[in-house]
Chain A
């Protein structure tokens, strides 16, 4: 009798647990999601902007440092691009527009760029931004930045007067402005002598609408409104246009658990959630108490072949992989059908896309198997190195693993945390296969050069033909000719297979309905200016 009582209690408890969990699940029929623009994301401007309040944003990862010149990590840029600005920047469609420079002239021989700075722009330390600050910033960037190769065409920088600065190039360049505007590892303008001699900046000062207040690692990063911000005029677009800081304070909170991030949005602990996972999108769309937006984005998933060592030093093995992959499957799993297979790193909606870019390997298992045999693959373990930092990275690696197993490859997965992923694999080139994703770049040169030019490629790819194509692409100033050149680059790439593009990843964000004025951007960067809290 006591025994049954005991078991009754046990069963009761198990049922309790079950039902608690079950009743917290919203029954969803997963319908095919809309893939065009934001669903409920468009805010009707029904309320007047109000000043004041604290905006709390939940991010997936914490910052690694406060010095944008030496940073290559998105989680550093997201908050700090509210604090610091560039000479020129990108608009909503990745075109170059003025920012700290109001206009510029290019000399006859295309080798001198003279920028006229806006006057009366203040740094957070109270000083006015002048030409000497620009010179200092870009020189510091060229000295210490990981992306400094993009400024190899710069011979010298001259201060003409307080508001005029001239860049002397060693040859005509179609990409120079793109290099200045590239948000990846951005060349932001900082006050002269900040972080001199390569010292890491611990207190970032800039010209942006918000200023840096404090960073408590693992807990929060706090920005405060900069009252003396001098905005450029014009419609807000991309990183430019009119920027008004309505809220008094922005708090960025890193919350690594995706489900906890969303829970905190629903409990009201945070106002905005970046990095919403595709599998949550359908469920969130149904909720009345929050606003979710999805935009196809220019983030693209990439598979790099480690050409420094076997087996992928052999082009047949690389081609075998290219034929083995089924990109739609990857999209289905990694992006829950919200993304698109990517034939090229160049996004279809940009002006650089063409039929050449659309031409891609189609899955052909038999051909792949033949190539594996031809290459003499002997069953040695192949490791796909991926990172745990982004959900779609691991998923892509797992799907690729099962696809490559089908052609007889013995594949394992190594999932590293971001820091090790970058320092141990990405930059050393010490891997067989590696997958990740790349955030948008305004200019195709910036997409291709870093990975394909022999002077900067990490995975061991060296091709004279590719080098010369890329160098032409830099020097060429005529748009249509440049387009041709990058068509050739893409064709050569598909032949040599230094890397494969896999998918375009959607940007999905969610926020509380009391946040007004927020616009999701396909470049994947949140913009918290022109945003206010209505109560």
Chain B
């Protein structure tokens, strides 16, 4: 779920049946753990791709075995160049996960810095930065990414750049909101009175309290990044051939949907599973870190 950067109206925690509460947390935790499990498995697959994949995803072409159905030698079948789809999906995990991971790291880092500066120092800087953020957030994310890719050209570097531009404002907003809500607390003033430097306050008191919403947002946007890369590749604007990414395997395979559906089913499931895992993880994190938020 998207974390809303509204000023959340804090509702008093109403006590209903204690059993009810405990039960809810428990089952939610299970979902969170399931999500963690799924993501860990996928991350491991992505990292160890060269060890897991039985074939080379690009060079192991086999022109006499085109579009073969799944079999014992080719778990997911072959594509229109005879390449093993299982290997391509494994390597695709590596590519897609890497791209999304780096994108989120960059967006979060820059976003945090922007949010901190904006929220803490306020004033003109805050005004300017937030105008920029508002402006950037007015563009529907995928459309914006597509326009940027059109200007920059298709390459892995540019996908990361385009998506980072799209997602950074959202992190900036989040952190700023968090900073603002904490800044208002009285104890910050008392620290200031006691002579604490700004930087110290920022990093020791404010930032740690923003980690939870940040982490949650990062998992959510990781999922968005994966879907965005897949969409861009599906449109032919993403990872260029012949390197596999989940999105561009779907792009290749769509004309074979009727006679060789395995080409599109497996990357589709891979994307779905990953995003599902991330959503579950995000849900679990939200319950664990900050049950008040829901």
Contacts and interface: CB of A to CB of B under 8 A. Distances in A.
Indicate yes or no for A touching B, C-beta below 8 A. Answer: yes
Interface of A: 2-3, 6-7, 14, 17-18, 21-22, 24-26, 28, 30, 257-259, 262-263, 277, 279-280, 282-283, 329, 332-333, 336, 388, 391, 394-395, 398-399, 401-402, 405, 412-415
A388 B30 CA distance: 46
B44 interface: no
A22 B70 CA distance: 12
Interface residues of B, number: 26
Nearest to A10: B276
B255 A391 contact: yes
Contacts of A395: 80-81
The 3 closest A-B pairs by CB, nearest first: A258-B255, A259-B257, A21-B261
Which of B63, B64, B81, B261 has the largest count of A CB atoms less than 10 A from its CB? B63
B66 A398 contact: no
B66 A415 contact: no
Contacts of B260: 25, 279
12 contacts: A6-B30, A18-B265, A22-B261, A257-B255, A258-B254, A258-B255, A259-B255, A259-B256, A279-B255, A332-B66, A399-B63, A399-B81
Contacts of A22: 261
A25 B81 CA distance: 20
Interface string B71-106: 000000000110000000000000000000000000
Interface in B246-271: 254-261, 265, 269
A280 B258 contact: yes
A147 B221 CA distance: 53
A333 B63 contact: yes
Given A2-B27, A388-B236, A413-B240, A398 B81 contact: yes
Nearest to A331: B63
A296 to B, nearest CB: 20
Which of B67, B80, B236 has the largest count of A CB atoms less than 10 A from its CB? B80
Contact of B241 (A26, A329, A336, A398): A398
Contacts of A398: 81, 241-242
Given A395-B80, A402-B61, A24 B66 contact: no
A404 to B, nearest CB: 12
Which of A279, A329, A394 has the largest count of B CB atoms less than 10 A from its CB? A279
A22 B256 CA distance: 13
Given A3-B27, A21-B265, A333-B80, A394 B258 contact: no
Nearest to B61: A402
B21 interface: no
Given A3-B30, A279-B80, A415-B236, A14 B269 contact: yes
A399 to B, nearest CB: 7
Nearest to B258: A259
A25 B261 contact: yes
Contacts of B259: 25-26, 28, 279-280, 282-283
Contact of A413 (B31, B34, B64, B241): B241
A333 B66 contact: yes
B59 A405 contact: yes
B265 A257 contact: no
A151 B254 CA distance: 44
A399 B80 CA distance: 11
Given A24-B261, A259-B254, A279 B27 contact: no
Contacts of B258: 24-26, 259, 262-263, 280, 283
Contacts of B59: 402, 405
Nearest to A417: B236
B30 to A, nearest CB: 5
B85 to A, nearest CB: 14
A333 B255 contact: no
Contacts of B81: 333, 395, 398-399, 402
A262 B259 CA distance: 12
Contacts of A399: 61, 63, 81
A502 to B, nearest CB: 15
A259 B258 CA distance: 7
A332 B80 CA distance: 10
B254 A257 contact: yes
B233 to A, nearest CB: 12
Nearest to B68: A30
A263 B265 CA distance: 18
A11 to B, nearest CB: 12
Contacts of B80: 279, 333, 395
Interface string B22-49: 0000010011001000000000000000
Nearest to B256: A279
Nearest to A283: B259
Contacts of B255: 257-259, 277, 279, 391
Which of B31, B236, B255 has the largest count of A CB atoms less than 10 A from its CB? B255
A336 to B, nearest CB: 7
Contacts of A329: 63
A70 to B, nearest CB: 26
Contacts of B236: 388, 415
A394 B265 CA distance: 22
A264 to B, nearest CB: 13
A415 B269 CA distance: 27
Nearest to B67: A279
Nearest to B251: A388
A25 B236 CA distance: 26
A6 B35 CA distance: 13
Contacts of A333: 63, 66, 80-81
A423 to B, nearest CB: 16
Contacts of B27: 2-3
A263 B254 CA distance: 13
Contacts of A263: 258
A224 B97 CA distance: 53
A225 B194 CA distance: 90
Nearest to A411: B242
Nearest to A7: B34
Contacts of B240: 412-415
A413 B242 CA distance: 8
Contacts of A279: 67, 80, 255-256, 259-260
